[in-house]
Amino acid sequence: MELAKAMGFNGVRKHQKIEDPRFLYWADSLGLLVWEEMPSAYRFTQDSIERLTREWIAAIERDASHPCIIAWVPFNESWGVPDLPDSPSQRHYVQALYHLTKTLDPTRPVIGNDGWESVATDIIGIHDYDDDPARIANRYGLDEVQRSLFKRERPGGRILMLEGQQDQPIMLTEFGGIAYSPDAHGTWGYTRSESAAQFAEKYTNLLNVVRNLPSLAGFCYTQFTDTYQEANGLLYADRTPKFPIEDIALATRGPRSARDRQVEWAWRERIMNFQRHQYLVPAEDYRTQDRH
């Protein structure tokens, strides 16, 4: 957690994992934001529906009191619901868990299916591993977002929205995936760097574009550290930085200008206003009632 903050990040997306309560305690204490995501089922079956729903309810009930958690994500990349475009029952299931989650906790945003093929969501989470900063800048420029992002673009080869409105905040919730390892054999990444210097240059150039896109409310880089064959971490598996951590932080945050602070404040206001409208807790909500 301290390394994540030292690299310039203010939060983490816990991918396919319900974290240990000790992690959430320290995230609360150190001020690190957490997206909590449910591990996916392998297939769409009666058993998987019942088990995932039961375990997701238990996770929300256990962790809802942690202030570090800022979003709930019941599905990722249509895993466990692979036929969303053609299956009404699978779309209904994602919508049902979205609404169930908002019933159990009306105070936080819910991303029904992160990555693509959204059918119910408060934040449009997009997974896009294009390694060309110029194409990213063009794809998520304000004019292109309004004109073609949800009509023609297919990051990951998937349509972004199947149902619902398109005026929610947009975030790149997976991007980057730049691999660097002294031993290139047996490791993998979406793109590869041949040296630590080239890795630093690619990361800096990509973040300089993503960080300054006014269409994006935020981003989550892939990924924190190398793991097994995946060599696309900012850190090696032993948590050693692949280039100086001060340079990673500068590339992540960028120099803080007056305009940066103004844009950040404007996005915070937009998100908070959206939340006030969407997540106003009614007086009769069971969490607000005195219990005797």
Tens place of pLDDT for every residue, the chain, 292 residues?
Answer: 999 999 999 999 999 999 999 999 999 999 999 999 999 999 999 999 999 999 999 999 999 999 999 999 999 999 999 999 999 999 999 999 999 999 999 999 999 999 999 999 999 999 999 999 999 999 998 887 777 788 777 887 888 988 876 788 999 999 999 999 988 788 889 999 999 999 999 999 999 999 999 999 999 999 999 999 999 999 999 999 999 999 999 999 998 778 777 877 887 787 777 766 765 555 555 555 555 5
**Given this model, what pLDDT does residue 20 score?**
94
**Given this model, what pLDDT does residue 147 score?**
75
**Given this model, what pLDDT does residue 289 score?**
54
Q: Give dist(CA 244, CA 135) in Å, integer.
A: 27
97 phi/psi in degrees, rounded to 5? -70, -35
Q: Give dist(CA 32, CA 45) in Å, integer.
A: 36
On whether residue 289 sits in a domain, the answer given is no
On whether residue 233 sits in a domain, the answer given is yes
3-class secondary structure per residue, the chain: CHHHHHCCCCEEEECCECCCHHHHHHHHHHCCEEEEECCCCCCCCHHHHHHHHHHHHHHHHHHCCCCCEEEEECEECCCCCCCCCCCHHHHHHHHHHHHHHHHHCCCCCEECEEECCECCECCEEEEECCCCHHHHHHHCCHHHHHHHHCCCCCHHHCCCECCCCCCCCEEEEEEECEECCCCCCCCECCEECCCHHHHHHHHHHHHHHHHCCCCEEEEEEECCECECCECCCCECCCCCECCCHHHHHHHHHCCCCHHHHHHHHHHHHHHHHHHHHHCCCCCCCHHHCCCC
**Given this model, what pLDDT does residue 258 score?**
82
Say what the pTM is: 0.85
Q: Which residues pair with 50 in a beta bridge?
A: none
- What tokens appear for 69 in the block? 């958690």
On whether residue 32 sits in a domain, the answer given is yes
CATH label of the domain that carries residue 78: 3.20.20.80
**Given this model, what pLDDT does residue 28 score?**
93
On whether residue 253 sits in a domain, the answer given is yes
Q: Are 195 and 149 in contact (CB under 8 A)?
A: no
Q: How many CA atoms lie within 13 A of 69 on its CB side?
A: 26
On whether residue 175 sits in a domain, the answer given is yes
Distances (CA, A) of 61 to 58, 70, 167, 220, 248: 5, 15, 30, 26, 36
**Given this model, what pLDDT does residue 153 score?**
75
Q: Give dist(CA 11, CA 27) in Å, integer.
A: 9
- What tokens appear for 148 in the block? 């073609």
**Given this model, what pLDDT does residue 290 score?**
55
**Given this model, what pLDDT does residue 275 score?**
63
**Given this model, what pLDDT does residue 142 score?**
82
Number of domains making up the chain = 1
**Given this model, what pLDDT does residue 32 score?**
94
Tell me the residue range of the domain where 117 lies.
2-282
On whether residue 250 sits in a domain, the answer given is yes
3 phi/psi in degrees, rounded to 5? -65, -40
**Residue 33: what residue type?**
L
**Given this model, what pLDDT does residue 285 score?**
56
**Given this model, what pLDDT does residue 255 score?**
85
On whether residue 212 sits in a domain, the answer given is yes
On whether residue 19 sits in a domain, the answer given is yes
3-class secondary structure per residue, 100-111: HHHHHCCCCCEE
